[in-house]
Amino acid sequence: MNAVSDTIEIDGSLGEGGGQVLRTALALACVTGRAVRLVNVRAGRAKPGLMRQHRTCVLAAARVAGAAVEGAELGSTQVHFRPGPVVPGVFEFEIGSAGATGLVLQTVLWPLLLADGPSTVRLGGGTHVLAAPTFTFLRDAFLPCLARLGARVELSLLRPGYHPVGGGLVEARIEPAPALARLELDAAPLPKELHAVATVARIGEDVARRELHQLAALLPLHRRALHTRVDREALGPGNVVHVDVPLGDGRHEVFTGFGRRGVPAEEVATELALEVRAFLAARVAVGEHLADQLLLPMALGGGGSFTTTAPSLHTRTNAEVVARFLPVEFRFVDEGAGRHRLTVERR
């Protein structure tokens, strides 16, 4: 067990004050073996403290690292986490709500990648939910970047899950990667043909058709690149629409719109199209959300740099937490015309 003097203290109200502070701190506590005490957990949210998804992150991290934990109750605003050695294996974690399986996975992914054997992680909850990376985004945008770093992770969708019912199942197979490479991604080439997929579960297909019609009016999308998908395996209703941007270097950026009660399909599509257009206009390699998620693996590996749109407060907050655990420096440089460069260097 770590000595008390080795404990890192983190105020969860840091920056945007959300769950990312907790998840990054838990992951790096497991990787470094340093204990962490978090206070004011999710202080920036309307309902502070641990929700089901965040509690599952704490319990999952504790399971893979044999950690002693205090404060892992729903609503808790303080967590003291003292990790032991990370042990690979087969794990199952059930959120018990439509909480994001992708965010729980990203909490345990990094320690398991650096473990001394393969692991399988099965997660139950939401797979396509608002304010979280969807299964589609993780598979098509996130994992290809990890592969460039030398990480071998396979992700399978066993059953989709939408808000508010959840009930989704995802399985990840993780091969150990003792050393992660450097990542360099500069300006992206002009993409080839964009693709859009609108998925509906237990609601009318007309919602998907309206979303695609609006996207085609706002983006360079050919009719053959518009696809409607009916999800018959979901336990509850849901709607999600993805735009896939192939970047010509074997990578894809994936942008997501979520159907919400009371929001017209056309508005969902318009919000999504504006995000895609901003990315295309900036001629950058990485979108806002992927930028946030690449910080930690780059800091654990050989560093590197990439171009992106204006870094969010979420991204800057994540960088601050990572720097509390690892000897790294993050540099954010505005290169003009909506283009920014983010550099990660080991100190």
The CATH number that applies at residue 53 is 3.65.10.10
pTM, to two decimals: 0.95
Under DSSP, the state recorded for 236 is S
Domain-terminating residue out of 70, 87, 104? 87
Please report whether residue 32 resides in a domain: yes
pLDDT digits (tens, 9 = 90+) for 305-346: 999 999 999 999 999 999 999 999 999 999 998 999 999 999
pLDDT digits (tens, 9 = 90+) for 234-245: 999 999 999 999
Angle between helices 19-32 and 288-300 (to 10 degrees): 20
Kindly name the residue from 128, 227, 314, 340 that is annotated as catalytic: 314
Please report whether residue 222 resides in a domain: yes
> Active-site residue 242, yes or no?
no
Please report whether residue 302 resides in a domain: no
Report the distance separating Cα 62 and Cα 2, nearest Å.
14
Please report whether residue 104 resides in a domain: yes
The residue segments making up the domain with residue 257 are 195-282
Domain-terminating residue out of 36, 66, 87? 87
Checking if the pLDDT of 4 tops 70, the result is: no
Q: In this predicted structure, what is the pLDDT of residue 83?
A: 98
- On whether both 139 and 203 belong to a single domain, the answer is no
- On whether both 48 and 99 belong to a single domain, the answer is no
Report the distance separating Cα 117 and Cα 309, nearest Å.
37
Q: Which residues contact residue 192 at a Cβ distance below 8 angstroms, ignoring those fewer than 6 apart?
A: 246, 248
Please report whether residue 114 resides in a domain: yes
Checking if the pLDDT of 1 tops 60, the result is: no
Please report whether residue 330 resides in a domain: no
Number of domains comprising the chain: 3
Please report whether residue 129 resides in a domain: yes
Q: In this predicted structure, what is the pLDDT of residue 250?
A: 83
Q: What is the CATH number of the domain that holds 276?
A: 3.30.360.20
Share of the chain above pLDDT 70, in %: 98
